Amino acid sequence: MISALFVKARQAFACGCLLLLFLSCFRGSLLAQESPYIVTYDHYLEEPGSLEVEYFSTFGTQRAGNDFHAFWTEFEYGVNAWWTTELYFDGQSTFSDSTLFTGFRVENRLRLLQLEHFINPVLYIEYEQTSGADKILKEIEGHDVESDFDDSNGVLRQEHDHELELKLLLSSSFKGWNVALNPIFTKNVSPGEPWEFGYAAGISRPLALKAMPRRCNFCGETVIAGLEMYGGLGDTRNPGLNNTSHYLAPAIAWNLPSDWTFRLSSGFGLNDNSHHLLLRWGVSREFSSFGELARQLFGGRK
Amino acid sequence: MKVVTVLLAACCVPLALAQESAIRQSKTDHSTYAALAKAPVSARSRGNPFAGDPQEVTAGGKLFEQHCAECHGPKAGGTRHGPSLLLDPVQQASPGTLFWILTNGVVRRGMPVWSKLPEQQRWQLVTFLESLKPRASGSASR
């Protein structure tokens, strides 16, 4: 049983790697300058015409059940300088249980102001169709707690969520530091469900603010360190911190000149309702020629 | 079936809009440079702390290759996606104006904001752009 689970997990991982390798055959790429945040968003959007393909994993501990490995793939496309759209596919493997595809998400981020200000707002709108077995924990909202995942995948997958999620991404960059705060408002579109609230906040800074004259892989300018905090704030029926979970997560991003970005984050639960550990890592690559290729494919001018 | 329709719409609508947006771009359209005039006086008068430093020119060149060459061309001469940076409107702009444009982008015309680069790196880019001046007159007459 366990060996079958590992085979499935390996297959999912291999598919993600193959996809990234296939896409790496595209010409035209530009160096990503990605933040280390995995949950929090800053106000920077994808460059117009660029496609960023990202694979992320989350290993989570589960006290009254089996630990799990949740994973998702993101396709992030810069429509223009004020609009970025994303498509996610989620899945998970629960140890001694099963591996599942758990749903998809479509999100859009819209820049609200043309010029940079001390605080820059971006509107985030997401529609997600997931099962109760979705464990990527990309955001924590309402009364999301560790015990939600105590049941087996067979039970959890019976629940279907169709959610509309709104976030206001507030972010500020000053003297090399970035500070971001995302209030979250989520509504399950099923009738009678309350609005749920949550938050994510982050702070980050490159290890070096000046670029070196020579090309370098591992130097201060390519490494960005940060800290995230995220959690739920109840819902319209029972707002507040009662029966909510919260996490503090140091994070690091390594932006390679070869256009690849690696991220690592270790989230520690801050109360008894939280998973003890959410260890996340991700790899991404940006393809700046994607929009051009798509235009040619659909008969646009060359 | 509904899901497939939603997914197709989610993928195709942005692509179609991106195509429309790209067609509107032109590398020599002088209205492209109008954004330079929008820099406030306080921003225009800022001096470049790295002016003339050859080390910073090299570092700025590296940053240009990494972040800007895709749209503005490897020699800053412009492409279909971004205007030439060798023409007079850019080359005669003050360092502070160039820094302001880098920071704020020209969002309506497709240039993203680059304030995600630390201030020092944006000045390194400005230093590199200023180093292109000797070649500007030749390029401008093209």
Residue A155 has a pLDDT of 96
**Of A34-43, A104-113, A289-298, which gets the smallest average pLDDT?**
A289-298
Q: Is B35 on the interface with A (CB under 8 A)?
A: no
Q: Is B1 on the interface with A (CB under 8 A)?
A: no
Tell me the per-residue pLDDT of A212-246, one tens digit each, with 9 for 90 and over. Answer: 999 898 899 999 999 999 999 999 999 999 999 99
Q: Is B45 on the interface with A (CB under 8 A)?
A: no
Structural domains in chain B, sorted by start = 2-140 (1.10.760.10)
Answer yes or no: are the C-beta atoms of A200 and A228 closer than 8 Å.
yes
Q: Indicate yes or no: CB of A81 within 8 angstroms of CB of B103.
A: no
Q: From its phi and psi, is residue A192 left (phi > 0), alpha (psi between -120 and 50) or beta? A: left
Q: Indicate yes or no: CB of A85 within 8 angstroms of CB of B10.
A: yes
- Report chain A residues whose CB lies below 8 A from the CB of B19: 291, 294-295, 298, 300
**Of A47-61, A71-85, A226-240, B12-26, which gets the smallest average pLDDT?**
B12-26
**Least CB–CB distance from B120: residue in A49, A77, A209:** A209
Q: Is B21 on the interface with A (CB under 8 A)?
A: yes
- How many CB pairs lie under 8 A apart between chains A and B? 128
Tell me the per-residue pLDDT of B45-75, one tens digit each, with 9 for 90 and over. Answer: 999 999 989 999 999 999 999 999 989 999 9
Distance (Å, rounded) from C-alpha A51 to C-alpha A112? 22
Domain boundaries, chain A: 2-297
Pairing relation of β-strands A51-60 and A260-269?
A: unpaired
Residue A20 has a pLDDT of 56
| Residue A76 pLDDT exceeds 70 | yes
Tell me the per-residue pLDDT of B5-22, one tens digit each, with 9 for 90 and over. Answer: 555 455 545 554 454 444
| Residue in A with minimal Cα distance to B122 | A210
- For residue A82, the distance in angstroms to the closest alpha carbon of chain B comes to 6
Answer yes or no: are the C-beta atoms of A76 and A51 closer than 8 Å.
yes
Architecture of domain A2-297: Beta Barrel (2.40)
Contacts 24+ apart (CB under 8 A), B17-21: B17/A79, B17/A80, B17/A83, B18/A48, B18/A49, B18/A77, B18/A79, B18/A80, B18/A291, B18/A294, B18/A295, B19/A291, B19/A294, B19/A295, B19/A298, B19/A300, B21/A48, B21/A79, B21/A80, B21/B110
Global ipTM: 0.86
pTM of the predicted protein model: 0.86
Answer yes or no: are the C-beta atoms of A169 and A43 closer than 8 Å.
yes
Residue B23 has a pLDDT of 42
Residue A5 has a pLDDT of 46
| Residue in A with minimal Cα distance to B118 | A176
Angle between helices B2-23 and A290-297 (to 10 degrees): 100
